Amino acid sequence: MSGGLAALLDDIAAIAKLAAASLDDVGAAAGRASAKAAGVVVDDTAVTPRYVTGFTPDRELPIIKRIAVGSIRNKLLFILPAIMLLSQFLPWALTPLLMVGGAYLSFEGAEKLWEKVSGHDAGEEEPVLVQGGDHEQTMVAGAIRTDFILSTEIMVIALAEVASEPFLSRLVILVVVALAITVGVYGVVAVIVKMDDVGLHLSERPMGAVRAVGRGLVAAMPVLLRWLAVVGTIAMLWVGGHILLVGADTLGWHWPYGVVHHAEEAVAAGAPFAAGALAWLTNTLGSAIAGVLVGAVLVALAHLLPRRGHRAPGVTQGAEDH
Mean pLDDT of 18-35: 50
* pTM (2 d.p.): 0.69
Whether 225 maps to a domain, the answer reads yes
- pLDDT bracket for residue 61 (50, 70, 90): confident
- pLDDT bracket for residue 219 (50, 70, 90): confident
pLDDT in tens, 170-186: 888 899 889 988 998 89
Which of the given ranges, 132-136, 267-271, 287-291, has the highest pLDDT on average? 287-291
In the chain, the number of structural domains is 1
Whether 272 maps to a domain, the answer reads yes
Whether 320 maps to a domain, the answer reads no
In angstroms, the CA 9 to CA 15 distance is 10
Domain containing residue 263: 22-304
Q: Calculate the average pLDDT of the chain.
A: 77
Lowest mean pLDDT among 284-288, 295-299, 308-312: 308-312
In angstroms, the CA 153 to CA 51 distance is 20
Do residues 143 and 60 lie in contact, with contact meaning Cβ atoms separated by under 8 Å? no
pLDDT score, position 274: 79
Whether 274 maps to a domain, the answer reads yes
Residue 155: pLDDT over 70: yes
pLDDT in tens, 120-142: 665 444 444 445 567 788 888 88
SS3 27: helix
pLDDT in tens, 187-217: 888 888 888 778 887 777 777 787 888 888 8
pLDDT score, position 22: 44
pLDDT score, position 21: 44
In angstroms, the CA 115 to CA 112 distance is 5
In angstroms, the CA 254 to CA 248 distance is 7
Whether 38 maps to a domain, the answer reads yes
Whether 310 maps to a domain, the answer reads no
Half-sphere exposure of 91 (CA within 13 A, CB side): 9
Whether 136 maps to a domain, the answer reads yes
Spatial CB neighbours of 27, under 8 Å, sequence gap ≥ 6: 176
Whether 150 maps to a domain, the answer reads yes
